[in-house]
Amino acid sequence: MKNEMKKKHQPSALTACYFFVILIVGLSLAGKSVAATICVPRDYSTIQKAVDAAGNGDKVRVSQGTYYENITMKKGVTLEGGWNKNFSQRDISSYTTTIDGGKKGGWVVSGANKATLDGFTIINGKAIELENSTIGSGIYCLSTSPTIINNVIKANEPSGIYCSGSSAVIMNNVISNNEEAGIYLENGCSLKIKENTIRNNKNAGIGTGGNATSLFDVRNNIINNNALAGIHAKSATGTIFNNIIYKNKDAGIRCENMPPDIVNNTIVANGQAGIAVDDPSLRPLIKNNIITHNVDSGIRAAGKGYSYNLLASNNMTDNCNTDYLWCIRRQYGTYEDEQSFLEHNDIIADPLYVDAVHHDYHLQPTSPAIDAGDPDSKFHDMNFPPSMGLSINDMGAYGGPFTIPEKRKSNDPPQAHAGPSQQVYVGDKVILDGSGSSDPNGDPISYYWKLISRPEASTAKLSDPKAVNATFKADVPGNYTAQLIVKDQKGKSSDPQKVQTSTLSNHPPIANAGEVISHAYLGDTVRFFGGASKDIDGDSLTYQWELTFRPSASHAVLSDPHAVNPNFVVDALGCYVARLVVNDGKKNSIPDMVYVNIKHNAIDGKRNVPGEYPTIQTAIDAADPGDDIIVQNGTYKENIVIDKAVNLIGVGWPTIDGGSKEGDINTMIIPYLGDRAGRVEGFMIKGGGKGSMGHGIDIWDSAPTLVNNKITGNQHNGIGIHGNGMLTRKTKIYNNDIYDNTIGIGNGRSSRAHIYNNHIHNNRIVGVGSRGLAAPVIDGNYIYGNHIGVGCREVAFPRIKGNHIFDNVCGIAISPISTIKRFVGEDIVIKNNLIFNNHQCGVSITSLNLSKVIISNNTIDSNNHQYAHKDRGGGLVFGWPYPGSFTAVVENNIVTNNMIGGIINHTGTENFPTRGAIINNNYNNVWNNTKDYVGLTNGDKDFSQDPQFISVASEKNRSYFLSQQTSGQDSNSPCVDAGSNTATKLGLGNSTTRTDKKGDSGIVDTGYHYPK
C-alpha cells in the first residue's frame, strides 16, 4: 500500500539484541545518585549517563544546546528539556534542547514504561536495516508505555515516532518533515494521540500497519500537508475526534480493515476524499464532521455510516445548489440524491469559517453548523468558547464534549434588530420580527419585547413578549411602537431598538373585470361586467374601462368607459383586451384585465402576434390544430402552454421570457399531444423556473419538433423531455443553440427523443442528461464547455453517436444511482464520437452502472490535462469509487495522449482487490497515455502506435483525420483498415477518416469518422 512505511518496523532477534546491548552499555556506565533531580550537563556530561543514574520517579533536566546522542529511556524517569544554563528557568521555546541522533544512526530516543520525554527537539534519526526489519525513527517504542509531550520531532527516518505493541501517550508535540509517517503504529498498540501538530511528513501524518489490530484515540490534533493521508487507519481502529485535517495529498482520513469512530472533525482541502473507506462492507461512525473542499468526494463510504455532517465544495462543486443531484453525489462519492442525504440529517452548505485562507476553521456566529450536530446529549458542547450557540453539538472540530476550552477576549453585547416598520389595516394581526438579532460571540440570545406606546383607545397586548416573533392586534387606528432588547447567555443586554407600526385608514378597492370571453364572432356586441368589483370599507365605486389591445384592423370603441357594464362591437378578427380600474373616492384599485378571443378560422392558417393577438398565449388559445402562429421580434414575458398541435414560428428572434421564477415554472410546456405536436422554431427561450422541474421548454408525452431556437438562461433545464417512449420517440430537437442553462437538455420518464446537430455548451452542470429509463439518441452534436458533456444520473440507455464532446470537465459520465438489477435494460452505446480535451476524463462509467456498455470507433484524445492529479481521470475510466460489475465492449477506438491512463479499470485497493468491470477490449490503438492500461491488459488485437492525425482546415475540430496515401499523404496511419469488421456492417460506410472526404470502405478504420 502506498502509504505504508517503506519497510516494516517489525522487530527481529537482531533488533532485540541491539536494544539489549545499548541497555547493558548504559547500565555499566551508571553511577549512584541520591538526587531526585539530575541536571545535564551540570551533574552528568551526557543525557544517557544521567538517565542511567536516575531511579524510578526521578527527573533529568537538560539545559539548552544540542546533544549528539541516541538515548534509551528508563522506567519511571522523566526527561525535561528547555532549561536555561543555570537551571533557574524553563522555556522550551527560548531554551531549545536538541537531541541529534545522526552521528550514530538508529533511533534518537527509545521509550520505556512510565517514562516521560518532555520539551526536546528530536532530529536526525537514521534508519538501520537489520535482517528483514528497520529500526530508527525519532522516537522508537517497542512494547513500552512512555509519555511523549511538548516535543518537536522532525527530520527523522523512517518516521517521527514509531510504536509497536506499545501504549504511549503522545501529546502536544510538533511532528514534521520526517521521511515517512509522522507517527507509525502497528502490532497491537494502544495510543493516545492528542493536541499535536503533525505536518509535512513524507508519508501519512498518522500511519498504521502490522498484523494485530491497534487501538488509538486521536483527538484535538492539527494534521496537515502530509504527502499521503492525514490519518491512514489500515489496521487500527478507535476514535478520531475534534481534529483539524487539511491539505494532505491523499485522503484526510483513510480507513481499511476496521471502522473507527470519526466524530467532530474539520476536514478540508485534502487531495483525495475527505474520508475514504476502502472496504465497502465497513460501517464506520462518521458524525458531526465538517468536510469541505476536498479534491475527491467529501465522504466515500459506500453510502453507509454517516449522519449529521456538513459537506460543501467537495470535488469541484463550489457553493452548489442542492436541488441538483450532481451537487450531492460529488459530496458522497456517487451516492445519495436530493432527498436521501437529508434523511441522514446532513447539511450541504458553506460552513462560514472565520478565515479558511489562513486555516482558522473556527465558525462565524451565523454558521449553519452551529447547533446542527446530533442532538443526543452525549455529543453536547461543553466548552464555550470555542463552541457557540446552545449546548446542542456544533459540527466540526470546535464542537462536542472534547473541545479544548478557549478564553474569550471579551463578552461583547448582543445586537437587537426589531425588523422593519409596518403599515397595516385596523383589525390586522401584526407580526414583529426579531430574527435579525445576533450575538458577535455566537452566544444564544433571549428576546424581550415590550409595547411601549399605542393609541389611547387601544387595548393591544403582546402575545408572547419572549418570542422571536411576538404578535399583537392593531385594534384601533393610530401608531404602535414596540421595543426589543436581547440578552446573551451571560445576561449581557443589547441596546433597545424600537419599531413602529401604523394603521392605514382606507383599504384600496378591488377591480373584477369578469371572465375570459372566448366564443365571440365577428359583428357580435360584447358586454363586459364589472359588477363583481368591491370595496372592503363599503365605499361607493367609480369605473374606468379601457380597450388596451385590439386587432390592427379594428376601430372598436367602448360604449361608455365609465359604465359598470360597457360594451363594444367586434369589427375585426383577433383578440381584444379590456382593462378595468375602480376608485373608492380615495384610491385606485390594481387594474384587472379581461380577454376576448374571436372565434374564426385563420386566413391561410396563420395567426399573427402582436398584429392580431397581444400575447402568444392568446393566439394559441384562439388557434385551431394545424395553425401557424407567427410571432414578430420582441420580448414576450409569458409562461406558455401549447395544448394543441400548432406551429410556433418566430420572425427576427423574438424572446419568450418565463421570468426565472421560484419553483417548477416552465417558460413553455407542451403536454400530452403524442406525435400530433407541432413545431417551435426561431425563438430565444429563457427564464425557466428555479425548481427541479422548471424548464425553458417542458415536453410531456408529446413529440414536437424544436428547430433553430436559442435556449438560454433557464434556471434549471433548458429543455426537458418526459413520458412514454411511444409518445416521445418522434421528438426532434435539432439545429438549436442551447447554452447557459443549469442543464441543457434533460431526458426522463422513458422518453426517446432524437437530439441532433445542436450546439450544447456552457451549461453549468450537464449538456445532455438522461434518467428514468430514458433512451435518447444523441447524434451529431457539438457538446462543449459544460461540467459534464453527456451524463446519466439514473438508469437510462442513451445512444451517443457522432458527437464532438470537448472542453467539458468530464466528457461522458454514466453514473446511475440505482443498483437494483431488475432495472438493467438496454445497452448503452457510445459510438463514433470525437472526445477530446475534457479536463478530468473523457468517458467515466461509475461502479453503480449495471448496463452493458458498447464503446466503439471513438477517438478519445488528450483528456485529463487540467486535473491530472486525480485518480478518477483519464481517457476511459471504468468503475469509481469502487470496482464495477458491468460488462463493457471496447473496440475500434483510438485512445491517445490522456493523462493518468488511457483505459482504466478500477479494481479496488491493494487490500481489497476485485476484478472490476469485465472489459472486452480489442482492435484499439492505445498510445502515448501516461499509462496505456491501468487495471487491465491490452486486448489481443490492440496495438500502440502514433495514429498520424491529419488536419483539414475547412472542418470543425479538424485535427483527427488519418494520414492515408490514397488521399495524398506520405504514409498510412496504422489505424487505417485496422478494425474488427467492415465499415459498411458497422454503419460507417458513409463516414470518413480521409482528408478527401471519401467514405470508409473495406475493413473499418479505427477511431472517429467525420461526416462526408
Quick one: residue 263, left, alpha or beta (phi over 0 = left, psi -120 to 50 = alpha)?
beta
State what percent of residues in the chain have pLDDT above 90. Answer: 82
Q: What is the pLDDT of residues 203-231, one digit of tens each?
A: 999 999 988 999 999 999 999 999 999 99
Q: 904-932 burial, b for 16+ CB within 10 Å, e for fewer?
A: bbbbbbeebeeebbebebebbbbbbbbeb
Cα torsion 382, 385, 386, 387: sign = positive
pLDDT of 33 reads 45
pLDDT band at 280 (very low <50, low <70, confident <90, very high): confident
Residue 22 has pLDDT above 70, yes or no: no
Q: How far apart, in whole angstroms, are the C-alpha atoms of residue 993 and residue 1011?
A: 9
Q: What is the pLDDT of residues 584-609, one digit of tens each?
A: 999 999 999 999 999 888 878 999 99
Least confident of 45-59, 347-361, 639-653, 823-837: 823-837
Q: Average pLDDT of 388-417?
A: 95
Q: How far apart, in whole angstroms, are the C-alpha atoms of residue 22 and residue 122?
A: 19
Q: What is the pLDDT of residues 980-996, one digit of tens each?
A: 999 999 999 999 999 99
Average pLDDT of every residue of the chain: 92
pLDDT of 716 reads 92
List strand residue ranges (DSSP E) for 776-831, in order: 777-779, 782-784, 788-792, 799-801, 804-806, 810-814, 828-831
Q: How far apart, in whole angstroms, are the C-alpha atoms of residue 804 and residue 772?
A: 25
pLDDT band at 625 (very low <50, low <70, confident <90, very high): very high
Residues with Cβ within 8 Å of 419's Cβ and at least 6 positions away in sequence, in order, are 432, 433, 434, 435, 436, 499
Q: What is the pLDDT of residues 755-771, one digit of tens each?
A: 999 999 999 999 999 99
| Phi and psi angles of residue 301, each rounded to the nearest 5 degrees, phi first | -140, 30
Q: Average pLDDT of 282-303?
A: 93
Q: Which residues pair with 835 in a beta bridge?
A: 805, 860
Q: What is the pLDDT of residues 854-903, one digit of tens each?
A: 999 999 999 987 765 555 789 999 988 888 889 999 999 999 999 999 99
Q: How far apart, in whole angstroms, are the C-alpha atoms of residue 877 and residue 881?
A: 11
Q: How far apart, in whole angstroms, are the C-alpha atoms of residue 398 and residue 400?
A: 7
Least confident of 8-17, 173-182, 385-394, 640-649: 8-17
Higher-confidence residue of 11 and 274: namely: 274
Cα torsion 584, 585, 588, 593: sign = positive
- Per-residue DSSP letter, 28: H
CA distances from 288 to 283, 330, 392, 397, 681 (A): 16, 19, 11, 9, 52
Q: What does the block give as the cell for 349?
A: 452548505
pLDDT of 507 reads 92
The stretches of 702-806 forming alpha helices (DSSP H) are: 725-728
Q: What is the pLDDT of residues 659-679, one digit of tens each?
A: 999 999 999 999 999 988 999
Nearest alpha carbon to residue 715 among 758, 665, 754, 783: 665
Residue 562 has pLDDT above 60, yes or no: yes
Grid look-up 402576434 returns 609
* pTM of the model as a whole: 0.84
Map residue 378 onto helix, strand or coil. Answer: helix
Residue 19 has pLDDT above 60, yes or no: no
Q: How far apart, in whole angstroms, are the C-alpha atoms of residue 125 and residue 434?
A: 62
Q: Average pLDDT of 424-451?
A: 95
Residue 14 has pLDDT above 50, yes or no: no
Q: What does the block give as the cell for 825?
A: 435494460
List strand residue ranges (DSSP E) for 69-182, in order: 71-72, 78-83, 97-100, 109-110, 116-118, 121-123, 128-130, 133-135, 139-142, 147-149, 152-154, 161-164, 169-171, 174-176
Q: Average pLDDT of 136-146?
A: 97
Q: What is the pLDDT of residues 765-791, one digit of tens each?
A: 999 999 989 999 999 999 999 999 999
State what percent of residues in the chain have pLDDT above 70. Answer: 95
Exposure of 619 in the CB half-sphere (CA atoms within 13 A): 28
Residue 825 has pLDDT above 80, yes or no: no
Q: What does the block give as the cell for 328?
A: 450531492
Q: Average pLDDT of 56-73?
A: 97
Structural element, H or E, at residue 17:
helix 13-29
pLDDT of 519 reads 84
Q: How many helices (H) and strands (E) does the chain have?
A: 6, 91
CB 761 within 8 A of CB 718: no
Residues with Cβ within 8 Å of 356's Cβ and at least 6 positions away in sequence, in order, are 268, 293
Structural element, H or E, at residue 362:
strand 360-363
Residue 35 has pLDDT above 60, yes or no: no
Nearest alpha carbon to residue 686 among 664, 708, 667: 667
Grid look-up 453539538 returns 393
